[in-house]
Amino acid sequence: MKAVVLGAGLVGGPMALDLADDKDFDVTVVDLRQGVLDTLAGRHSRLQTERHDLSDPAEVTALAARFDLVISAVPGPMGFATLRAILEAGTPAVDIAFFEEDPWELDALARDKGVAAVIDCGVAPGMSNLLTMHAVQRLDTAHTALTYVGGLPEVRRWPYEYAAVFSPIDVIAEYTRPARYVENGQTVVRPALSDAELLVFPGIGTLEAFNTDGLRTLARTLDLPNMKEKTLRYPGHIEKMAVLRESGFFSEEEVDVGGVRVRPLDLTARLLFPMWQLPAGEADITVMKVLVEGELDGDPVRLGWDLYDRLDPSTGVHSMARTTGYTATAVARLLASGLYPEVGITPPEYLGRHPACVEFVQARLAERGVRYVEFTESL
């Protein structure tokens, strides 16, 4: 199968390398940065590279038409237009872009072209959706679904104790985009960073959780009275980000500074991103807990999965790239296998309806050392 990865960044690059290891795929990775492409090409003899401007939808459509499968790893603000351009070519897609537009606006196009587009196909959203649906399918009834997830540096450095191991501009969006969740059967919209709570994770310690807009498609595809997703950071991060946001540092509205029009977000990004860069050789970790509560055989139970993942020292691939990117490449292999034959916009929870698909994806992840530990608790 001829596959192309759009974007050669922190996650796109490892995805391309992972698929290039598979002799069932001929893999091309595309980016505008020639230096990044040259580095990747030097790491794998079977990986091909091309330089294209992925912000041009016409160029994306022409590119996608040459391939059997596209994996989109472009930044969130480009995601919706890029996916539409891919579907215009009639090519199946796996998408990890975290765009805020309604993906179902593209459902008719995908169905008309007869292809599947698996969206939000990362760790969370992504595996969190798949496992949540899988648990709901196994229970007699379900009423609550919770996800706690975070990517963190192993070494904590003042002042932010954080490192961005995916697109930093998408990180800032987590602090500004209103968070949607479901409570007592009603959709609730709260500010990002709200409703802080402290949780203890073995091997890590205390983390703080806050509302972010990670529930995504589950709010539409699952009819549960209580559903929520929260992001995890080291304690104190919420207050720092809230101060920046409320002071206007994340604003996209231009302000006049000495006669020059400047977007505060651009200045903030320029200052923060170097401080958020993970130093070479240091590890990041990804932690996630997925919980679904309901009844099984008349008893109240909680089904859950724990994830603890760390940078792979043998390959140097960051944990966030492993847990996000390898989910997408597992789903790419799933589509190639024909095990999931449906078409249209496909959130990951649709895969969770099929035990064979869940088993396939988890097995591919486990082969790469990304393991979800399942547990059942009586309530």
pLDDT of residue 166: 67
Q: What are phi and psi of 2, to 5 degrees?
A: -90, 115
pLDDT per residue as tens digits for the range 92-144: 999 999 888 999 999 999 999 999 999 999 999 999 999 999 999 999 999 99
pLDDT of residue 164: 83
Q: Is the pLDDT of residue 167 over 80?
A: no
CA angle 237, 243, 247 (to 5 degrees): 150
pLDDT per residue as tens digits for the range 59-74: 999 999 999 999 999 9
Whole-structure pTM value = 0.93
Number of C-beta neighbours around residue 328 at 10 A: 26
CATH architecture of 127-310: 2-Layer Sandwich (3.30)
> Angle 168-176/237-246 helices, nearest 10 degrees?
80
CA–CA dist 148, 131 (Å, integer): 13
Q: Domain ranges in the chain?
A: 2-123+320-372, 127-310
At 206, list the tokens: 């205390």
Q: Are 319 and 284 in contact (CB under 8 A)?
A: yes
Classified as helix, coil or strand, 347 is coil
At 169, is the pLDDT very low, low, confident or very high (cuts 50, 70, 90)? confident
pLDDT per residue as tens digits for the range 183-236: 999 999 999 999 999 999 988 999 999 999 888 999 999 999 999 999 999 999
Q: Which of 84, 92, 72 is nearest to 5 (CA)?
A: 72
pLDDT of residue 208: 97
195-202, long-range: CB within 8 Å, 24+ apart, which pairs?
195/230, 196/238, 197/230, 198/235, 199/148, 199/232, 199/289, 201/287, 201/289, 201/308
At 332, is the pLDDT very low, low, confident or very high (cuts 50, 70, 90)? very high
pLDDT of residue 173: 87
Pick the CATH number of 2-123+320-372 from 3.40.50.720, 1.10.10.370, 3.40.1000.10, 1.10.10.60: 3.40.50.720
